[in-house]
Structure 1
Amino acid sequence: MNTPESITHSCVIYALRCLINMNIPLNQGCLTPCHIFIPKNTILNPSDFVAVCGSTISGQRVTDVILKCFNICAASQGCANSFGWGRGGKDPYTGKVSPGFATGEAIGGGVGAMENYNGASVCNVHCTNTKTTDIEILETRTPILITKWCIRRGSGGDGRWKGGDGATREIEARVPLRVSILSERRIYKPYGIKGGSPGARGENYWYRLQSDGNYIVTKMGGKEIIQIKAGDRVQINTPGGGGYGSRTDK
């Protein structure tokens, strides 16, 4: 979760440009009126002696917090759902390097609702402004099949304006692979505001193929690295966005 101080500065600039109805240039001058104080040796301003994660998780959460302070937007999915797979590389125990590959993607989720706005579904928000790789590219260049790629219907929070739905992304390995997931909001739901309901929390599953053709399903944590066999599947269900306002509001 540790992230460089510059990530928080970027989130402040981003939030200002979202909140102010002006064409603000994207430069350091945006922060001249702002006084940003981040205590040292904290998650958002770590020492030089710890590992950092970068923007894929902390940047999403910082942006949600800033927008919540202005009471303007419900929580979005809150992470990039960084999903990756590959094989080979350096063995951490023997030091031996084997040929292989690695690939990764950021999977979209639900966007938090706002006044007069139902959140978008399956969208990378805030600092994770990327598109998902085409299925044909992944299946051609890596030994996997995309067995499910759809909107996770009903995962957005209810309210006068509804939060966006998350996504379901499932892959099947054609050879043994190392699979990783770096995700958030697998325990706490993306919150709604002003009476809106929270979005659904994310869920990660490992389907292990058995000799009789059935699967044993294992629920994965938010941050995992696993070794899967050919025929196994991994399913990532991303969080929905929070809802805005109560349905009874007028």
Structure 2
Amino acid sequence: MFNGTGAEVWGNLNAPRAITLSALIYCLRCMVGHDVPLNQGCLTPVQVIVPPGSILDPSETAAVVGGNVLTSQRVVDVVLKAFQVCAASTGCMNNLTLGEEDWGYYETVAGGSGAGPGWHGASGVHTHMTNTRITDVEIAERRYPLIVRAFSLRSGSGGRGRWNGGDGVTRELIFRRSMQVSVLTERRAFQPYGMNGGEAGARGLNLLQRADGRIINLGGKTSVKAFAGDKYIMNSPAGGGYGLPTDEDINKEDKVYSEFLQRGSVYEYKSAQESV
């Protein structure tokens, strides 16, 4: 299934085979028309081909933290796009870590989910392989030397289409003393794709604003020293849109989707598409 996957990488984006299989099981459970128990038996009918020594099945000594939180999302994108299920979502867990020698704080920030045939994407949510919730503002500010300056939806950032992608979020943190700031994110260069004519969602952006007003683009992955008064700004990626918003497409999609609702699985939805 994953023939042609590249070799394991020097950095930490390698995904253990178990993570690759977990992403695959997740996709299969999303696409079938009934509840499926969460166990290895899900894959009994499926022949899984993952080249040993690749980024999706690396050696035992490979670094893998980014594989858990980023590459797993890429696997989901590949599978769902192959089956034309829905547009891309935020595409990563938007990881942020802060700390000094004697303490550390780690949070994941939500984004937008992709739209699909019959639904708009949700805004400000964790998607796919993410199963975390962010710390309450009151707790974060009480326990750590930071101020949550803003936390809101990025209005209009979702891709437009017959069904619109969900909006990402904006989060701003002001640091009350010096600390190390690290980001591990994706979709900062490439936008979450739309599908079947839908527009792409807005890409993410990580910024560090120094206390003197200077703004620095941190890119997708880095670790920097921040000082008292500095502000970190995250704009998380949005979801892609689905379908063209024309009368002809609306009529066609409505007809196909009505059959999909009656049958209830992606496989049957695809069959309905082919019959239109």
* Fold shared, TM-score > 0.5 on shorter chain: yes
Letter in 2 for 1:22: H
Q: CA deviation at 1:48?
A: 2.3
- The amino acid across from 2:22 in the alignment is S
Matched, 1:32 2:44: yes
Out of 35, 40, 57, the position equivalent to 2:70 is: 57
Q: What displacement does 1:132 show? A: 1.1
* Distance of 1:77 and 1:133 partners within structure 2: 19
- Residue 245 of structure 2 is matched in structure 1 by 247
Cα offset, 1:131, TM superposition: 1.4
Q: Distance in 2 between matches of 1:8 and 1:62?
A: 7
1:91 aligns to what?
none
Q: Residues 155-183 of structure 1, C-alpha deviation per residue, up to 9 Å, x if partnerless?
A: 11010000000011110000101111100
Measure the CA separation in 1 of the matches of 2:224 and 2:88: 29
Aligned-partner SS, 1:181: strand
- The runs of at least 4 consecutive aligned structure 1 residues that moved more than 2 Å come to none
Q: Report the structure, 1 or 2, having the larger helix content.
A: 2
* Aligned mates of 1:64, 1:113 — CA distance in 2: 13
Match of 1:217 in 2: 215
Matching residue's letter, 1:162:
N
Kindly indicate whether residue 41 of structure 2 is the aligned counterpart of residue 41 of structure 1.
no
Secondary structure at 1:209 match in 2 = coil
Number of the residue aligned with 1:126: 128
The gaps in structure 1 that reach 5 residues or longer are 89-99
- Per the normalisation by structure 1, the TM-score is 0.92
Q: Which residue of 1 aligns with 2:18?
A: 6
Deviation, structure 1 residue 127: 1.2
- In the alignment, structure 1 residue 23 sits paired with structure 2 residue 21: no
* Alpha-carbon distance between aligned partners in 1 of 2:123 and 2:68, rounded to the nearest angstrom: 21
Corresponding position of 1:69: 82
Which residue of the partner structure matches residue 195 of structure 1? Answer: 197
Instruction: State the partner residue of 2:266.
Output: none
Matched with 2:113 is 111
User: Which amino acid is 2:78 matched to?
Assistant: V
Identity of counterpart residues, as a percentage?
A: 47
Name the counterpart of 1:96: none
Cα distance in 1 for partners of 2:60, 2:35 equals: 36
Matches within 5 A, 1:90-105: 100-105=102-107
Q: Please give the TM-score of this superposition, normalised by the length of structure 2.
A: 0.84
Unaligned runs of at least 5 residues, structure 2: 1-12, 251-276
* Cross-structure match for 2:160: 158
Cα distance in 2, alignment partners of residues 178 and 132 from structure 1: 20
